[in-house]
Amino acid sequence: MYDHLKGFRDFYPAEMGARREVIDSLEAAARRYGFREVGTPALERTQMYVDKSGEEIVEELYAFEDKGGREVALTPELTPTVARMVVAKQQELSKPIKWVSTRPFWRYEQVQQGRFREFYQTNVDIFGSSEPEADAEILAFAADALTDLGLTGEEFEFRVSHRDILGGLFESFDADVDTAAAIRAVDKSEKISHNEYHDLLVEAGLSYDQAAEFDDLLAVGEDDLDELVEFAGTDRVEAAVTNLQNVLEAAADFGAREYCTLSLETARGLDYYTGVVFECFDSTGEVSRSVFGGGRYDDLIESFGGQPTPAVGVAPGLAPLSLLLQRADVWPDEAFTTDYYVLQIGDTRSEAARIVRGLRERGHVVETDVADRSFGSQLNYADSINAETVVVAGEQDLANDEVTIKEMESGDQTQVPVDEFPGDLERPTYDDFA
């Protein structure tokens, strides 16, 4: 008997049906915005991730040498892959490039709530626009995707920030600050104690007094962002504040502003983020971790050897999203649904198959016996798969040129001339013949 590996999961049909419903809904929302599906490989060269994140990233990868002697890794995220794809055909692709993809990824990391070593994400990205409307469209897609799934604005919030506000503030202090390390400290601020957070800021180059002053700056409200411009006195912070305000204004026009709150403590830990960033959280706090996040990464395409190309995206992960949907009691029912079960008694396969084919041609979910079971066993099976209607094709029925139509919920049944079923009806049921 073999167990599955730690951090890898099996999904049996009922749960997989609910997951499929969520994935289909996310992708349908993306299609309404004009995002086109792409397919991407499970393996990439390990060096691609090392160049992007440093040698230490290898410890977090499923990395190995393949039979051709190449150092490869199971993809831990999609962004480097789509960046590579954009670079490969940059001159041929119409801008903006709008892509969507749902697929598994792999990271060798600690398993915890909503985080596994194999996980599924729907990635949605726009390449080729630096305008605030592109950021706002990503926020609007994310909001529509969640409300399509049954969530309301009281169930979730987007905490929105800007990386250049954080970076510009760090640069304005009279200190030798490692800005990237300081921003990573901000990203961890809600996961660690206040003292540990300040220790990380000090390690990045601030004094303890400066760390406390920085904390106070991040507490400003949306109407007081000009205070940050005055404190920093730099074009970088002024431009970032203006960009953030413009994105939020565009989000209002696109219908997503009501879900957004200013949260300068939101930083996103990956170094390639460059502008507006956001994270989705459960408004009640019951799901303690970020549900998903996104943001702008304008420099990544160029770092992969392409022409300068602004980009912004978001990646809802199915595992943490399922926690939010379950907490809000809108996770799809994990139950089978079957339109018809065609029950056979005796040597009636040919006529039963005709009925099955006719119903399936109309687009219905139809099952029939493939295991030579008894009448009772077939009826129990039909009940177990939540069949709405059972069509009994028995030898005695057919001898009378009839079939029996049984409505499973009520138990009512009636006889129907065999040549009238399914006939011209698109979805024939008991009520059509009673």
Which residues are documented as binding site for L-histidine? 77-79, 107, 121, 125, 268, 272-273
d(CA 10, CA 112): 17
374, 362 Cβ separation under 8 angstroms: no
SS3 161: strand
Residues in Cβ contact with 226 at an 8 Å cutoff, skipping those fewer than 6 apart = 241
Q: Alpha carbon of 88 to those of 111, 155, 247, 302, 316: distances in Å? A: 35, 41, 30, 12, 26
Q: Pick the closest to residue 36 from 106, 93, 108 (CA basis).
A: 93
Rounded to whole angstroms, how far apart are CA atoms 367 and 273? 50
CA nearest neighbour of 340 among 377, 376, 393 = 393
Residue 355 belongs to what H/E stretch?
A: helix 349-361
Residues that constitute the known binding site:
77-79, 107, 121, 125, 268, 272-273
Most distant CA pair in the chain, distance? 96
